[in-house]
Amino acid sequence: MKKSVLTAAFAAALALGIGGSIAQETAPAGDPLLDTVNARKALMSQIDMELGEMEAQIAEGTFDPLIAYERGAGIAAMMRAFQLLFPAETNYLAEDEEPEVATSADPKIWAEFERFSELATTAAQQADEASFAEDLAALTPAVTALRASCESCHADFLDYRPPTF
């Protein structure tokens, strides 16, 4: 009897040991789900900064085609990557009133993922449009339309509105 308990414990320890070494080889450092939430938030913050730079050009009446091109193309690439960072396991607000992970991603994202993804793709296309602008007259409507897309998605898919930028 005692022997079989010990054997079971040994087998469990062995299994854990093997499991541990497999996990070490395949899992990235840190918590991949937390990293995913942080990555999508970091993309949003960077997008916000780059859109702000284009809006500053419009406000100041200056135009630098290289800035418009780089910021527009950067936002477009980030918007396309952003929508890939919503695995179902990161729907932290679905049940939890006070989730351990800081996120404002509304559970509606997962219920209406197609619409969410279309909004992100539209924003990416508007950013492409801004990147092609050859003067302020072309940049202004593209940037205005892009800003409206930010606000429209946040109105529908954030559990609270982020501060107005």
In whole angstroms, give the CA distance from residue 91 to residue 109.
Answer: 9
Contact 51/68 with Cβ under 8 angstroms?
A: no
Does position 37 interact with ligand HEC (CB under 6 A)? The reply is: yes
Among 31, 35, 48, 64, binds ligand HEC (CB under 6 A): 48
CB atoms within 10 A of CB 122: 16
Among 55, 57, 63, 157, binds ligand HEC (CB under 6 A): 157
Among 91, 103, 142, 143, binds ligand HEC (CB under 6 A): 103
Q: Considering beta carbons, is residue 47 or 142 the nearer one to ligand HEC?
A: 47
Does position 78 interact with ligand HEC (CB under 6 A)? The reply is: no
Query: Going residue by residue from 117 to 136, which x/- string records binding to ligand HEC, judged by CB under 6 A?
Result: --xx--x-------------
Find how far residue 8's CA is from the centre of its chain.
Answer: 45
Per CB under 6 A, residues contacting ligand HEC are: 37, 40-41, 44-45, 47-48, 51, 75, 103-105, 116, 119-120, 123, 146, 149-150, 153-154, 157-158, 162
